Amino acid sequence: MNEAILKVKDLNAYYNSVCALKGINFHANVDEIVGIVGPNGAGKTTLLESIAGTHKIREGEIYFLDHRIEHWPVLKRRKLGLMLIPQEGNVFPMMSIKKNLEVSVLYSSREEREKLLDYVYELFPVLWTKRKNNANTLSGGQQKMLAIGIGIAANPRVMLIDEPSIGLAPKLVTRLFDTLKKIKEDSGNTIVLSEQNIKILNIADRLFGLEAGEIKFDEKTENLSRQVIKDLYLGG
Ligand code: ATP
Protein backbone atom coordinates (compact mmCIF):
# COMPACT_ATOMS: atom_id res chain seq x y z
CA MET A 1 0.00 0.00 0.00
CA ASN A 2 1.40 3.40 -0.96
CA GLU A 3 0.10 5.53 1.86
CA ALA A 4 2.59 7.71 3.73
CA ILE A 5 2.28 7.35 7.49
CA LEU A 6 5.34 9.47 8.26
CA LYS A 7 6.57 12.52 6.36
CA VAL A 8 9.50 14.85 6.91
CA LYS A 9 9.66 18.13 5.02
CA ASP A 10 12.68 20.42 4.56
CA LEU A 11 14.28 19.36 7.81
CA ASN A 12 17.47 21.04 9.07
CA ALA A 13 19.18 19.86 12.24
CA TYR A 14 22.26 21.17 14.01
CA TYR A 15 24.60 20.44 16.90
CA ASN A 16 25.39 24.03 17.94
CA SER A 17 26.86 25.48 14.73
CA VAL A 18 27.48 22.07 13.08
CA CYS A 19 24.83 21.32 10.47
CA ALA A 20 23.99 17.58 10.65
CA LEU A 21 20.98 17.50 8.28
CA LYS A 22 20.26 19.84 5.37
CA GLY A 23 16.86 20.12 3.70
CA ILE A 24 15.79 16.53 4.29
CA ASN A 25 12.59 15.27 2.69
CA PHE A 26 11.70 11.77 3.76
CA HIS A 27 8.67 9.56 3.99
CA ALA A 28 7.69 6.07 5.05
CA ASN A 29 4.59 4.25 3.86
CA VAL A 30 2.23 1.96 5.69
CA ASP A 31 3.44 -1.66 5.64
CA GLU A 32 6.95 -0.84 4.48
CA ILE A 33 10.52 -1.38 5.66
CA VAL A 34 12.58 1.69 4.84
CA GLY A 35 16.34 1.56 5.21
CA ILE A 36 18.36 4.70 5.83
CA VAL A 37 21.88 3.99 4.61
CA GLY A 38 24.99 6.10 4.67
CA PRO A 39 28.54 6.20 5.94
CA ASN A 40 29.54 7.14 9.50
CA GLY A 41 28.54 10.67 10.35
CA ALA A 42 26.03 10.89 7.47
CA GLY A 43 23.24 11.93 9.83
CA LYS A 44 21.27 8.67 10.18
CA THR A 45 20.99 8.81 13.97
CA THR A 46 20.16 12.51 13.92
CA LEU A 47 17.33 11.88 11.46
CA LEU A 48 15.80 9.10 13.57
CA GLU A 49 16.19 11.17 16.75
CA SER A 50 14.62 14.21 15.06
CA ILE A 51 11.60 12.13 14.09
CA ALA A 52 11.29 10.61 17.56
CA GLY A 53 11.78 14.00 19.24
CA THR A 54 14.98 13.25 21.16
CA HIS A 55 16.88 15.71 18.96
CA LYS A 56 15.37 19.19 18.62
CA ILE A 57 15.29 20.26 15.00
CA ARG A 58 15.94 23.82 13.91
CA GLU A 59 13.69 23.98 10.84
CA GLY A 60 11.27 21.71 9.06
CA GLU A 61 8.00 19.87 9.43
CA ILE A 62 7.24 16.33 10.56
CA TYR A 63 3.87 14.67 9.97
CA PHE A 64 2.79 11.42 11.56
CA LEU A 65 -0.67 9.96 10.97
CA ASP A 66 -1.78 13.37 9.68
CA HIS A 67 -0.67 15.20 12.81
CA ARG A 68 2.04 17.82 12.59
CA ILE A 69 4.37 16.71 15.37
CA GLU A 70 7.73 18.48 15.16
CA HIS A 71 7.00 20.45 18.34
CA TRP A 72 5.51 17.53 20.26
CA PRO A 73 7.41 16.05 23.22
CA VAL A 74 8.81 12.53 22.88
CA LEU A 75 6.14 10.87 25.02
CA LYS A 76 3.26 12.36 23.04
CA ARG A 77 4.83 11.06 19.81
CA ARG A 78 5.32 7.67 21.42
CA LYS A 79 1.72 7.50 22.61
CA LEU A 80 0.57 8.12 19.04
CA GLY A 81 2.68 5.17 17.91
CA LEU A 82 6.16 6.39 17.05
CA MET A 83 8.85 4.44 18.84
CA LEU A 84 12.63 4.85 18.64
CA ILE A 85 14.93 1.97 19.47
CA PRO A 86 18.29 3.68 19.93
CA GLN A 87 21.63 1.91 19.58
CA GLU A 88 21.82 1.78 23.37
CA GLY A 89 19.82 2.84 26.36
CA ASN A 90 16.25 1.57 26.06
CA VAL A 91 16.91 -1.44 28.31
CA PHE A 92 16.86 -1.13 32.11
CA PRO A 93 19.87 -3.34 32.98
CA MET A 94 19.02 -3.91 36.66
CA MET A 95 15.42 -4.84 35.99
CA SER A 96 14.26 -8.32 34.97
CA ILE A 97 13.59 -9.04 31.33
CA LYS A 98 9.93 -9.58 32.17
CA LYS A 99 9.65 -6.18 33.91
CA ASN A 100 11.43 -4.44 31.02
CA LEU A 101 8.78 -5.78 28.65
CA GLU A 102 5.89 -5.12 31.04
CA VAL A 103 6.82 -1.44 31.31
CA SER A 104 6.59 -1.20 27.55
CA VAL A 105 3.04 -2.57 27.27
CA LEU A 106 1.64 -0.09 29.80
CA TYR A 107 0.08 2.17 27.16
CA SER A 108 -1.86 -0.72 25.61
CA SER A 109 -5.23 -2.00 26.75
CA ARG A 110 -5.33 -4.85 29.27
CA GLU A 111 -6.48 -7.33 26.62
CA GLU A 112 -3.68 -6.32 24.28
CA ARG A 113 -0.91 -6.48 26.87
CA GLU A 114 -0.82 -10.26 27.20
CA LYS A 115 -0.96 -10.77 23.43
CA LEU A 116 1.94 -8.38 22.89
CA LEU A 117 4.08 -10.07 25.55
CA ASP A 118 3.28 -13.52 24.14
CA TYR A 119 4.24 -12.31 20.68
CA VAL A 120 7.62 -10.98 21.88
CA TYR A 121 8.34 -14.27 23.68
CA GLU A 122 7.33 -16.21 20.55
CA LEU A 123 9.73 -14.15 18.41
CA PHE A 124 12.57 -14.37 20.93
CA PRO A 125 12.14 -17.57 23.00
CA VAL A 126 15.38 -16.89 24.92
CA LEU A 127 13.69 -13.90 26.53
CA TRP A 128 10.99 -16.22 27.89
CA THR A 129 13.56 -18.70 29.19
CA LYS A 130 15.49 -15.93 30.93
CA ARG A 131 12.53 -13.70 31.80
CA LYS A 132 13.24 -13.69 35.56
CA ASN A 133 16.88 -12.67 35.13
CA ASN A 134 18.08 -9.09 35.10
CA ALA A 135 18.62 -7.66 31.63
CA ASN A 136 22.32 -7.13 32.29
CA THR A 137 22.82 -10.92 32.44
CA LEU A 138 21.98 -11.24 28.73
CA SER A 139 24.64 -11.44 26.03
CA GLY A 140 25.05 -8.52 23.60
CA GLY A 141 22.91 -10.23 20.96
CA GLN A 142 20.23 -11.14 23.48
CA GLN A 143 20.16 -7.54 24.77
CA LYS A 144 19.56 -6.40 21.20
CA MET A 145 16.62 -8.84 21.01
CA LEU A 146 15.29 -7.38 24.26
CA ALA A 147 15.67 -3.84 22.91
CA ILE A 148 13.66 -4.80 19.82
CA GLY A 149 11.21 -6.73 22.02
CA ILE A 150 10.65 -3.60 24.10
CA GLY A 151 9.88 -1.77 20.87
CA ILE A 152 7.40 -4.40 19.71
CA ALA A 153 5.75 -4.58 23.12
CA ALA A 154 4.94 -0.87 22.79
CA ASN A 155 2.89 -1.79 19.71
CA PRO A 156 4.05 1.16 17.59
CA ARG A 157 2.66 2.06 14.18
CA VAL A 158 6.17 3.07 13.16
CA MET A 159 9.26 1.57 14.76
CA LEU A 160 12.48 3.53 14.22
CA ILE A 161 15.55 1.37 14.80
CA ASP A 162 19.06 2.79 14.90
CA GLU A 163 21.65 0.40 13.39
CA PRO A 164 20.37 -2.83 14.97
CA SER A 165 23.15 -4.94 13.42
CA ILE A 166 25.99 -3.16 15.23
CA GLY A 167 28.04 -5.58 17.30
CA LEU A 168 26.15 -8.68 16.15
CA ALA A 169 27.73 -11.77 14.60
CA PRO A 170 26.72 -12.27 10.93
CA LYS A 171 24.39 -15.19 11.71
CA LEU A 172 22.56 -13.14 14.32
CA VAL A 173 22.20 -10.23 11.88
CA THR A 174 20.48 -12.55 9.41
CA ARG A 175 18.16 -13.88 12.13
CA LEU A 176 17.37 -10.42 13.43
CA PHE A 177 16.60 -9.09 9.95
CA ASP A 178 14.38 -12.11 9.20
CA THR A 179 12.55 -11.36 12.44
CA LEU A 180 12.07 -7.71 11.48
CA LYS A 181 10.57 -8.83 8.18
CA LYS A 182 8.22 -11.18 10.00
CA ILE A 183 7.18 -8.41 12.40
CA LYS A 184 6.30 -6.18 9.47
CA GLU A 185 4.39 -8.96 7.72
CA ASP A 186 2.49 -9.93 10.89
CA SER A 187 1.56 -6.40 11.91
CA GLY A 188 1.39 -4.41 8.66
CA ASN A 189 3.21 -1.70 10.57
CA THR A 190 6.15 0.33 9.32
CA ILE A 191 9.80 -0.13 10.20
CA VAL A 192 12.41 2.51 9.51
CA LEU A 193 15.95 1.43 10.23
CA SER A 194 19.33 2.98 9.76
CA GLU A 195 22.01 0.55 8.67
CA GLN A 196 25.46 0.09 7.26
CA ASN A 197 25.13 -3.67 6.91
CA ILE A 198 24.75 -5.02 3.37
CA LYS A 199 21.98 -7.39 4.50
CA ILE A 200 19.61 -4.43 4.67
CA LEU A 201 19.24 -4.98 0.93
CA ASN A 202 17.47 -8.28 1.67
CA ILE A 203 14.68 -6.78 3.76
CA ALA A 204 14.17 -3.10 2.86
CA ASP A 205 11.39 -2.22 0.42
CA ARG A 206 12.95 1.19 -0.11
CA LEU A 207 16.31 2.75 0.62
CA PHE A 208 17.08 6.30 1.48
CA GLY A 209 20.74 7.31 0.96
CA LEU A 210 22.26 9.96 3.20
CA GLU A 211 25.68 11.49 2.81
CA ALA A 212 27.06 14.41 4.82
CA GLY A 213 23.56 15.33 5.98
CA GLU A 214 22.01 15.39 2.50
CA ILE A 215 19.78 13.01 0.57
CA LYS A 216 21.50 11.28 -2.30
CA PHE A 217 18.65 8.99 -3.33
CA ASP A 218 15.24 7.68 -2.29
CA GLU A 219 14.50 4.58 -4.33
CA LYS A 220 12.85 1.18 -4.25
CA THR A 221 15.51 -1.38 -3.37
CA GLU A 222 14.81 -3.38 -6.52
CA ASN A 223 15.72 -0.36 -8.68
CA LEU A 224 19.10 0.17 -7.06
CA SER A 225 22.40 -1.30 -8.15
CA ARG A 226 23.51 -3.50 -5.29
CA GLN A 227 27.17 -2.99 -6.09
CA VAL A 228 26.98 0.81 -6.11
CA ILE A 229 25.08 0.86 -2.83
CA LYS A 230 27.48 -1.62 -1.29
CA ASP A 231 30.57 0.31 -2.35
CA LEU A 232 29.30 3.72 -1.36
CA TYR A 233 27.11 3.19 1.63
CA LEU A 234 27.52 -0.14 3.29
CA GLY A 235 30.29 -1.82 5.20
CA GLY A 236 30.26 -5.52 6.06
P1 ATP B 1 27.12 6.72 12.72
O2 ATP B 1 26.82 5.67 11.70
O3 ATP B 1 28.58 6.89 12.98
O4 ATP B 1 26.28 6.59 13.95
P5 ATP B 1 25.32 8.72 11.66
O6 ATP B 1 25.08 8.58 10.20
O7 ATP B 1 24.30 8.18 12.57
O8 ATP B 1 26.74 8.13 12.01
P9 ATP B 1 25.06 11.14 13.17
O10 ATP B 1 25.46 10.48 14.44
O11 ATP B 1 23.64 11.52 13.02
O12 ATP B 1 25.52 10.27 11.92
O13 ATP B 1 25.97 12.44 13.01
C14 ATP B 1 25.75 13.41 11.99
C15 ATP B 1 26.74 14.55 12.17
O16 ATP B 1 26.51 15.22 13.39
C17 ATP B 1 28.22 14.09 12.21
O18 ATP B 1 28.97 15.05 11.55
C19 ATP B 1 28.52 14.06 13.68
O20 ATP B 1 29.90 14.30 13.90
C21 ATP B 1 27.68 15.21 14.21
N22 ATP B 1 27.26 14.95 15.60
C23 ATP B 1 26.55 13.89 16.04
N24 ATP B 1 26.32 13.97 17.37
C25 ATP B 1 26.92 15.12 17.77
C26 ATP B 1 27.05 15.78 19.04
N27 ATP B 1 26.49 15.27 20.15
N28 ATP B 1 27.73 16.94 19.07
C29 ATP B 1 28.26 17.48 17.95
N30 ATP B 1 28.18 16.92 16.73
C31 ATP B 1 27.52 15.75 16.63
List pLDDT tens digits, range 126-162. Answer: 999 999 999 999 998 899 999 999 999 999 999 999 9
Q: What is the pLDDT of residue 68?
A: 97
C-alpha 22 – ligand 1 centre gap (Å): 13
Q: Is the pLDDT of residue 108 over 80?
A: yes
Cβ of residue 50 lying under 6 Å from some atom of ligand 1: no
φ, ψ of residue 212 to 5 degrees: the values are 45, 45
Share of the chain above pLDDT 70, in %: 98
Q: In sequence order, which residues have a C-beta less than 8 Å from that of residue 1 and are 6 or more positions away?
A: 29, 30, 31
Cβ of residue 20 lying under 6 Å from some atom of ligand 1: yes
Predicted confidence (pLDDT) per residue in 185-214, tens digit: 998 899 999 998 888 989 999 999 999 999
Residue whose CA is at the smallest distance from ligand 1 atom 26: 15
C-alpha 45 – ligand 1 centre gap (Å): 7
C-alpha 43 – ligand 1 centre gap (Å): 6
C-alpha 42 – ligand 1 centre gap (Å): 7
Which ligand 1 atom sits nearest the alpha carbon of residue 18?
Answer: 30
C-alpha 46 – ligand 1 centre gap (Å): 7
Which ligand 1 atom sits nearest the alpha carbon of residue 162?
Answer: 7
Cβ of residue 73 lying under 6 Å from some atom of ligand 1: no
Which ligand 1 atom sits nearest the alpha carbon of residue 210?
Answer: 6
Taking the whole predicted model, whether its pTM rises above 0.85 is answered as: yes
pLDDT bracket for residue 236 (50, 70, 90): very low
The class level of CATH for 4-81+156-234 reads alpha beta
Residue 226 vs residue 70, higher pLDDT: 70
The ranges assigned to domains in the chain are 4-81+156-234, 87-148
C-alpha 19 – ligand 1 centre gap (Å): 10
Average pLDDT value over all residues in the chain: 92
